[in-house]
A and B are shown apart, each in its own frame.
Chain A
C-alpha cells in the first residue's frame, strides 16, 4: 500500500475538512448557491462531508432575475433530489424596496447591486458563515483570499488586514454582527473542478455542454439572446455552436464557440485553453481592480 493521496482526493479531503470545521465553529452557516459548476461541486462535497446525515445548512441563491432559465431549473431539481433547504434572496425585491437601483444603459448589469441583496439576506436570516465557491486561481484579488475570510459588520472585506492562516487551524472567532465567508474550494483550479466533475459523475446544467444558440457579439464577447440586454446597431443575432465556461447572469456571461459535448472533451478544451475562464466575464473587465472593489463591498 502506497500511503499517498491523488491530487483530487487531497483537494476533496481539504474541502470536506473546511466544511465540517465551519459546521462545528459557527451557529448558522449557509451555502451560497449560484447554479454554477463551483457551487454544484460544493453541494456534492457537502453531501459527502456529512453523510449519512443531512447537510446541516441551507442553500441561498441570490437571484438577480437575469439568470438563464436552465440554471433555475437545474437548481430546483438539485434541491428536490437531495431534500435540501433553499432560500431565495431576490435582487428585484431589493430594487422594489428601494434598497438598490438598477444600472442604466446598454451595459447595465445587476452584478454589482446583488451584493446588497446578498448582505441583506445574510443579515435577515442571521447567517454567521457563508460558503462561497470562489477559487484562488480565478482572479488576482481572489488569490489573496483565506479559507476563512472575515467580513465586518458592513460585510466588507479588508484585504490588507487579513488574519494569517496557518496549518489547518482555522480561526472563526468574531464579534456579533460580523460574519465569515468560507471558501472550501480555495485551492482548486478550473481544471481540478472539471476533472472532479468527470471523476465523480456530477450532473451539471446543459449550458456547460456544446449546443446551438442564438448569440450576438459585443466587444468580442458572445452573449446569448436575452430579454435583459438591448442590442446595439450592428449586433446581429446569429446561430452558433457554443457552450459556457462559467455561468453568471445572462448580461455578463459570454459563451465560447465550442464543440465540446462531453466531460472528457471539456477537460481537453480547458487543458488547451489560452484565456482564463473569467476572460469571458464582462463583470471583471470593468477595471483592473473590478473584483477587488466588489469584494470589498461584500461581493461573493
Chain B
C-alpha cells in the first residue's frame, strides 16, 4: 500500500435511523476492516445490556453516555476509515434532533453526501429535504442509495422508479454528479461487494463510487484568493527582514512572480517567493497552508486578502445571504451580531428577512418571517467593514460566514452568500 499516494474524501450521511444509516456505516467500517475487536466487544456488551436482539452497530457511532442511554444521537460524530486508494472522513449526522443544524454542519466540509432512500417508501419528503440541504451547502456529488432492496425482492422496477422520481426532482438542484446505487446495507449488497442478486445493475458499488469520485475540481482553482491569516515576522539574526503572510489558499493558483492586489486597500505588488515550512514552492493552490512573501513592504494584516488584479472578488457591506439558524434564540431583525468571514472579524446588523424556506415543501414562505432554530431563510445584512467575498456557489471558503451572539459568544447562524 502506498500511503503517500492516497487522497482524502469527506462525506456526510443523510437519512434517519429507519433508513438503515447506522447499518450502512457499520457495514462500510466493518467490510473495510476499520472496526477493531475491542470496539466490537464493547458494542456487543452494550447491545446485550440494552436488551437488543442483535449487535447494534449504531452504538459504534454513539459517543456520549446520554446518547447510549436514550438510544439517540445528539451531535455530529466523525468516523474514519481508509482503503488503499483513499482516506475517508464521515460526518455522521443524527436523524432526529436538530436535524438541519447538524446536517448543515456536517455538509459544510463534505465533498459528497450519501442520501438514503428506503426502497419500500421511494423518494420521500425527507429525501427532498436532505437533497435540498446538500445542494444549499454546495455539495457537488450525491450518492443516492436505494436501501433495503432485500425487502422488495431486489426488483429492478422498484429501483428504476425511484431513480426516475429522483431525476425529476433533482433537475431543480445544482448537483452535477449524482450516482444511483441499489443496496442492502443489512446483507452488504453493492456496499463493498457487488450484489449477486441484482445482476441487472451494471453500475459501481458504493465503495467503488466513494473511491473513484473525482474531487480535485471541488476546490476553486480559478479565482485566486488568499486571506491573510497571520503575519510571520521573526526579526531574528538569521531572518532579519523576513515578512511572510501566512494563510491557507482559498482559491486559484499563486506563483512567484505573480502580480497581486491587496484588498481592501487596492495596493499592488509581486510575489517574491512562497514558503511552505522552510521550503520554497513553485505554486500554491487550495487548500495549501503557505506563507507568501511580496517584493514591496506594504501594510498588510490579518483579515486582508491577496487576489489577482484581473480577477477580483466583490467588496461590499450590504450582503444577501441564505442563513441557517443554529440557536434556540431566534434571529432578531435589526439585531446586531458578531461575524466571521475568512480571517476577517466584523459585526453586522440584520436589515431584512426576505423569506423563509419551508424545508418540507421547499416553498418560499414570505408571510411568516420568524427564523428560529433549524430554519433556513434569505436575509440581508450590513457589515461594519467591507468584506471581500464571492458567491458561495462559486467558492465555499470566500462565500461563507458565521454569525456569533455578542453576549453568549455562541455560533448562532451559518450564512451562504448569494
Q: Is B120 part of the contact surface with A, judged by Cβ < 8 Å?
A: no
Query: Judging by beta carbons under 8 Å apart, are A52 and B36 in contact?
Result: no
Tell me the nearest residue of chain B to A23, going by C-beta.
B230
Cβ contacts under 8 Å, A292 to chain B: 63-65
Cβ contacts under 8 Å, B302 to chain A: 24
Query: Judging by beta carbons under 8 Å apart, are B234 and A6 in contact?
Result: no
Cβ contacts under 8 Å, B82 to chain A: 189, 191
Query: Judging by beta carbons under 8 Å apart, are A49 and B289 in contact?
Result: yes
Q: Is A50 part of the contact surface with B, judged by Cβ < 8 Å?
A: yes
Beyond A144-B63, A166-B402, whether A275 also contacts B396 by CB under 8 A is no
A-B contact count (CB 8 A): 194
Q: 3 shortest A-B CB distances, which residue pairs?
A: A48-B277, A173-B409, A53-B234
Chain A 158-181 interface mask (CB, 8 Å, partner B; 1/0):
011011111111110111000000
Assuming A53-B233, A189-B82, A292-B65, what are 13 further A-B pairs, CB within 8 angstroms? A1-B283, A3-B221, A17-B289, A24-B229, A48-B278, A53-B232, A53-B234, A144-B75, A163-B411, A168-B397, A275-B38, A288-B42, A289-B64
Beyond A13-B288, A48-B278, A173-B409, whether A166 also contacts B36 by CB under 8 A is no
Cβ contacts under 8 Å, A288 to chain B: 42, 46, 65, 68
Chain A interface size band reads 35 or more
Query: Judging by beta carbons under 8 Å apart, are A166 and B42 in contact?
Result: no
Cβ contacts under 8 Å, B411 to chain A: 163-166, 171
Query: Judging by beta carbons under 8 Å apart, are A167 and B400 in contact?
Result: yes
Q: Is B116 part of the contact surface with A, judged by Cβ < 8 Å?
A: no
- How far does the alpha carbon of A173 sit from the alpha carbon of B341 in the complex, in Å? 14
Which chain B residues (358-398) contact chain A, with CB distance < 8 Å?
396-397
Cβ contacts under 8 Å, A141 to chain B: 63-64
Would you give the shortest CB distance from A53 to chain B, in whole angstroms? Answer: 4
Cβ contacts under 8 Å, B87 to chain A: 7, 189, 192
The segment from B13-21, B124-132, B236-244 that touches chain A is B236-244
Would you give the shortest CB distance from B107 to chain A, in whole angstroms? Answer: 9
5 A–B contacts, CB within 8 A, in A order: A11-B8, A16-B289, A140-B62, A143-B63, A275-B38
Query: Judging by beta carbons under 8 Å apart, are B4 and A199 in contact?
Result: yes
Partner among A162, A267, A274 whose Cβ is within 8 Å of the Cβ of B36: A274
- Which of A20, A159, A186: most chain B Cβ within 10 A? A20
- How far does the alpha carbon of A171 sit from the alpha carbon of B406 in the complex, in Å? 12
Query: Judging by beta carbons under 8 Å apart, are A187 and B78 in contact?
Result: yes
Binding site for A on B (CB under 8 A): 1, 3-8, 36-39, 42, 46, 60-66, 68, 74-80, 82, 86-87, 89, 101-102, 104-105, 108-109, 215-216, 219, 221, 229-230, 232-234, 236, 238-239, 242, 244, 246-248, 253, 275-278, 283, 285, 287-289, 291, 302, 326, 338, 340-341, 343, 396-397, 400-402, 404, 409-411, 414
Partner among B104, B248, B291, B402 whose Cβ is within 8 Å of the Cβ of A17: B248
Cβ contacts under 8 Å, B63 to chain A: 140-144, 159, 292
Query: Judging by beta carbons under 8 Å apart, are A5 and B343 in contact?
Result: no
Query: Judging by beta carbons under 8 Å apart, are B64 and A159 in contact?
Result: yes
Chain A 2-32 interface mask (CB, 8 Å, partner B; 1/0):
1111111111111011001101100000000
Which chain A residues (219-273) contact chain B, with CB distance < 8 Å?
267, 271, 273
Partner among A1, A167, A267 whose Cβ is within 8 Å of the Cβ of B108: A167
- Which of A3, A141, A187: most chain B Cβ within 10 A? A3
